[in-house]
Amino acid sequence: MEAYKRVALARKKTRPTGQDFIDNLFTDFIELHGDRCFGDDPAMITGLGLLMDMPVTVIAQERGKNTKSRVKRNFGSSHPEGYRKALRQMKLAEKFNRPIVCLIDTSGAFCGIGAEERGQGHAIANNLMEMMGLKVPILSIVIGEGGSGGALALGVADEVWMLENAIYSVISPEGCASILWKDASKTKEAAKCLKLTAQDLLELQVVDKIISENHRDFKNVYRELKIGLYKSFQKNQALEHEQLTEHRYQRFRKYGAIETISE
């Protein structure tokens, strides 16, 4: 399939959002709000739930289902308080030795006056740094659109999975076309060049696994995720803390390491 078709599928309005995944993957979910510094960001849902019999911390980006909820959720684009809320929950997960599930679906971190004033760059940077050292298993799944730094701020994990029709990119194809070629009509070409599809990213080892989709029915997706998450957490919880963080460090260390550069 053409890369741009995937972009369209990933952004499709009828596609299940973070809340749908929460409802279908976990039982007894309780949402917990606020970053304790500034406010609560509706673009980021955080809380606790049961993955079968395992208590887990859930962090999910939510873009909203209809116009009203999309506006409320700021179309899934978080402000710094969203990332700080996520980190607060992740720190609690570490304290109580719970695995962390991150569900990524955002066109990017919000670009606006308030976001800059409150340190969007700092909030993301802090997440990247702290997630690298968390002593509990983390698994991130790109369920829709993985937009640049705003997605990566939930993406420093032991394993990163991606749905078949999800995308994950350093910049939106629209942004790339207008910056590089000053021509918005080259969006399709940009989508192809950026290597943003699940298949491309599996080949580049940016993601570890693709979850196949039947886009009319997500039941199989949820089932596969549930079992996969459970197995992965069981395996990673058995590791020593040092082994776990060392593995996570090496997972990201490999990108552009000297050996691959000099090839």
Contact footprint for other proteins (CB under 8 A): 109, 111-113, 115-122, 124-126, 128-130, 132-133, 148-149, 152-153, 155-156, 168-171, 176, 179-180, 193-196, 201, 204, 206, 248-249, 252-253, 255-258, 260-261
| Minimum distance of other proteins from residue 103's CB (angstroms) | 18
d(CA 229, CA 26): 11
Closest Cα partner for 199 from 152, 246, 162, 156? 162
CB 91 within 8 A of CB 127: no
| Minimum distance of other proteins from residue 33's CB (angstroms) | 24
Closest Cα partner for 232 from 219, 241, 244, 214? 244
Nearer to other proteins, 93 or 196 (CB): 196
Nearer to other proteins, 98 or 248 (CB): 248
Closest Cα partner for 62 from 81, 40, 48, 46? 46
Nearer to other proteins, 99 or 175 (CB): 175
The CA–CA distances, whole Å, from 252 to 88, 151, 222 equal: 23, 15, 27
| Minimum distance of other proteins from residue 120's CB (angstroms) | 4
Output the six-digit token pair for 64: 């909203």
Q: Among all chains, which residue has been given the structure tokens 């199989």?
A: 220
| Minimum distance of other proteins from residue 119's CB (angstroms) | 5
Nearer to other proteins, 92 or 128 (CB): 128
| Minimum distance of other proteins from residue 56's CB (angstroms) | 22
d(CA 119, CA 114): 9
Nearer to other proteins, 138 or 229 (CB): 138
